[in-house]
A and B are shown apart, each in its own frame.
Chain A
């Protein structure tokens, strides 16, 4: 179980891109999932079947961190945040690596 409770800046900076979650209402209307969400789900399955990050542990971390340090993020962004957070917590990747990779990915995607 990842123990880190401090938010990572590289993740907090993504908040500008989504509408902040201001209500804990149960029923929040229908939303069409974005394509990255199913890709993220596949990443979760790969990490779990490969033994890097068990699905149940990830879900528990999503609950814990999603209701605390990342409480301002909408629920559908939790898996992305928490997978990244957990991999950094476990020193599988570093924050610098992630920041650099995001920059590289962004540049590549914006080229088209």
Chain B
């Protein structure tokens, strides 16, 4: 487990140099006419409203409603509108890094899907929000395509040899989200209960949902957090 910057006391330092740098770059760009303050505000507003709970919701609803699942798998872009996500926003063509073709990858007992973008860090932001730091590191991007089982094991996910690990390198216009299988022990649960256990990492494909784990729970100590590196 890394002990480096996991507890960076950002809240305690009221003004950071990066806050200053961000604002300085933005203001210089606006002064030079590269874009307007309103352009920036619209992109910010849009980006900040994104959260992975949309992906959780879509997954939970799919588990309960086969017709919804069918629509989602056959036309992800269009079906996203049913949960309030329009991939064409905010510009009418999506943002320069969020294109308009969205595909949901369904896990089965024989196939486990996982997403990566080796060329940059394409990520389905409209349904998953901002990507985790590690998703953007060359470490993850280069190794996931080459040693997927090793990387998954580092996240604590060990899959049997007869399960096909299918890595999706999102290199073009499409964006992907993994739809995990509904875990044991969730019989009779409603959509909200189910959505709570579909965490971000499950939707990327580096974890599997469990009936006893939600993203809002504090991970159990002292065995290390879920996703902690095994030595």
| Chain A residues in the interface with B (C-beta under 8 A) | 11, 13-14, 16-50, 52, 55-56, 59-60, 62-63, 67, 74-78, 80-81, 83-84, 87, 92-93, 97-98, 101-102, 104-106, 109-110
Interface check B4, CB cutoff 8 A: yes
Let me know if A105 and B5 touch, CB within 8 A. no
Binds A, one of B40-48, B73-81, B176-184, B186-194: B40-48
A67 touches B28 (CB 8 A): no
A112 to B205 CA separation, bound complex (whole angstroms): 44
Interchain nearest-CB distance for A78 vs B (Å): 8
A80 contacts B22, C-beta separation under 8 Å: yes
**What residues on A are CB-neighbors of B47 within 8 Å?**
38, 41-42, 45
Stretch at the interface among B54-62, B91-99, B101-109, B158-166: B91-99
Contacts known (A22-B4, A93-B32); A28 close to B96, Cβ less than 8 A: no
**How would you classify the secondary structure of chain A's contact residues: helix, strand, loop or mixed?**
helix
Count of residues in B whose CB is under 8 Å from the partner chain: 58
B41: chain A residues within 8 A (beta carbon): 42
For the complex, is B83 an interface residue (Cβ under 8 Å from A)?
no
| Nearest B residue (CB) for A64 | B138
Question: Which of A22, A35, A46 neighbours the largest number of chain B CB atoms within 10 Å of its CB?
Answer: A46
Contact sample, A vs B, 16 pairs, CB 8 Å cutoff? A16-B17, A18-B8, A19-B4, A19-B8, A26-B229, A28-B5, A41-B44, A42-B41, A44-B97, A56-B119, A80-B22, A80-B25, A87-B25, A97-B28, A106-B15, A109-B20
A55's closest neighbor in chain B, by CB? B97
Q: How many A-B residue pairs have CB under 8 A?
A: 192
- Known contacts: A26-B134, A28-B133, A60-B120. The answer to whether A39 contacts B16 by CB under 8 A is no
A41-B130, A87-B25, A109-B20 given; A48·B136 CB < 8 A: no
Given A45-B43, A60-B120, A101-B27, also A31-B6 (CB < 8 A)? yes
**Does B20 contact A105, Cβ atoms closer than 8 Å?**
yes
Known: A26-B140, A62-B136, A74-B133. 13 other contacts (CB 8 A): A26-B137, A27-B1, A29-B225, A39-B22, A42-B44, A43-B22, A46-B29, A47-B34, A47-B35, A49-B91, A67-B138, A74-B8, A80-B18
A-contact 0/1 string along B47-90, CB 8 Å cutoff:
11000000000000000000000000000000000000000000
B13 in contact (CB, < 8 A): yes
Contact of A109 among B19, B130, B138 (CB under 8 A): B19
Q: Find out whether the CB atom of A55 lies under 8 angstroms from the CB atom of B6.
A: no
Q: Which of A28, A35, A55, A84 contacts B21 (CB 8 A)?
A: A84
Q: Which residues of chain B come closer than 8 Å to A35, judged between CB atoms?
A: 19
Of residues A24, A45, A78, A83, which shows the largest number of chain B Cβ atoms within 10 Å of its Cβ?
A: A45
